[in-house]
Amino acid sequence: MSTWGEIITALRAVREARRLSARSVARAIGAAATSVSVWERGSHIPLVTSVIDWAHELGYELVLQRVACTSARCAYCRCDPAQCAADDTGGYCADVACGSCLHGCPADACNPGGQMETEKTGDDR
């Protein structure tokens, strides 16, 4: 799973490899002339729809995929990985996992520290 920054870095690399200016891509997607440059520098975070348009303009699409549940998860998840893995419908995790962790935990998207934990015991609870 990619982080937002990795997606933007990849889009920038494609744009530069094709020798397209940030300004021309911004205009092509209907954004302000300096938008793509600002997003690439990390000065502002683009809307999801802008990144979708940006990727499409470069011949790519963003895909949302269901990931497999793992035993490692963030501190906010309450799902049992075994039950999660056995539930093909996704209903179990939808009820007990945090929003970012449905069927797997991309820890960097789940909590600011990016720390995953496998189990809490004793005084850690």
| 104 pLDDT above the threshold of 70 | no
> Comparing 20 with 74, which gets the higher pLDDT?
20
What pLDDT sits at residue 118?
37
CB 37 within 8 A of CB 26: yes
pLDDT bucket at 27, cuts 50 / 70 / 90 = very high
Map out the domains of the chain with their CATH numbers: 4-57 (1.10.260), 81-124 (no CATH)
Structure tokens at 32: 């302000």
Contacts of 113 (CB under 8 A, 6+ apart): none
What pLDDT sits at residue 25?
96
Report the DSSP beta bridge partners of residue 117. 73
pLDDT bucket at 100, cuts 50 / 70 / 90 = low
Closest CA to 66 of 111, 103, 109, 19: 103
pLDDT bucket at 86, cuts 50 / 70 / 90 = confident
